Structure 1
Amino acid sequence: MSRIPSAIFASTILLLPACATTRPDPEPGYYHAETVKPYADVLAELELAITERNFRITGHNKIGSVIRAREHIAFPDYDTIQFCNLSLARRMLELEPAAVAYMPCNVSVRSERGRVHITTHLLPTDSANPRMGEFARDMNRQLREIVDFAAEP
């Protein structure tokens, strides 16, 4: 393959716009995706994805809208949603009591430069207890699926 077609191919791939993208996690222990979907749609789809997987929403902090209302200023959207499944929580705590520090599950949503960013904490998978590592990998898969569902076009 000559250099010109390779450069054109590489440039084309890099410039293709995407409605929903997953990018490298902002830091270890997190999973991040972004979309151009309306913010309210992302929140609604997060709630749907969470409840469809038998998690119960235990909290929803509407940080951005509260700051806007209290301060009477233009302020971007920021939300956090906390959720839990008591059966899974019990199983995790029986495997590793110190894992209570990772509860409840949490997803954050923010609006920035015309995109909606969705981030969740992941459970560490390097436990000395192989069953806990397996549990964490399964939970992380579910957390990624929740984020991806909300980011899908």
Structure 2
Amino acid sequence: MTYTLATTVSLPWAEALERTREALAAQGFGILTEINIRSTFEAKLGADAADAVGDYVILGACNPALASRALAAEPEMGALLPCNVVVRRNSAAESTTVEAIDPQTMVQLSSAPSVKDVADDAGTRLRKALASLGQADG
């Protein structure tokens, strides 16, 4: 099973990160958390580990209306929130990859019918956000 939705853009990493934030906001997602893997690796594992992973940020994106519906359907869904969106590029790359957890993963783990509706809506919004990055490219 594929568990991410992804796009690759020929934008510089910092620009791809900023445009990802904007694209998610346009689809009703706020950023609850931001984890800079590169700086964490550098602090905890050293420069070699940071260089090996490259520029790598995990954005914890949340659409409050969708999260509310998911939690009302099945409170355990909170373990899968927020939706993680990764913006990454290693030093040798000429493009930046942006990928998000596919909300259909929730459907695989839940028997609640309303979770499918939430996952469908979230998936549509995440696909639109990723598609808009490709349109902004170049």
| Band of TM-score, shorter chain | 0.7 to 0.9
Larger radius of gyration, structure 1 or 2? 1
Q: Deviations over 1:15-34 (max 9, x none)?
A: xxxxxxxxxxxx52211111
Partner of 1:139: 122
**Residue of 4, 27, 30 corresponding to 1:56:** 30
Q: Which has the higher helix share?
A: 2
What's the CA shift for 1:66? 4.8
TM-score (norm 1): 0.71
CA distance in 1, matches of 2:123, 2:38: 27
Shift of 1:72: 4.7
CA contact (8 A) 2:27 2:126 kept: no
Contact 2:87 2:97 in 1 (8 A): yes
2:59/2:86 contact within 8 Å kept: yes
| One-letter amino acid of the counterpart of residue 133, structure 1 | K
- Which residue pairs with 1:9 in the alignment? none
Q: In the alignment, which residue of structure 2 is the partner of 1:36?
A: 10
Give the number of the structure with larger relative contact order, counting CA–CA contacts within 8 Å between residues 6 or more apart: 2
- Structure 2 residue 66 is matched with structure 1 residue 88: yes
The residue matched to 2:120 in structure 1 has which SS? helix
Within 5 Å, give how 1:1-153 maps onto structure 2: 28-68=2-42, 71-72=46-47, 75=51, 76-112=54-90, 113-124=93-104, 125-126=107-108, 127-152=110-135, 153=137
Computed over aligned residues only, the root mean square deviation of the Cα atoms, in angstroms, reads 2.2
Distance 1:135 1:48, change over 3 A: same
**How many matched pairs?**
127
1:69 CA displacement: 7.0
Give structure 1 stretches of 5+ with no counterpart.
1-26
Matched-pair identity in %: 26
Contact 2:26 / 2:129 at 8 angstroms: preserved in 1?
A: no
Q: TM-score, normalised by structure 2?
A: 0.77
State the secondary structure of the residue aligned to 2:6.
strand
Contact 1:108–1:118 (CA<8 Å) still a contact in 2? yes
Contact 1:110 1:116 (8 Å CA) reproduced: yes
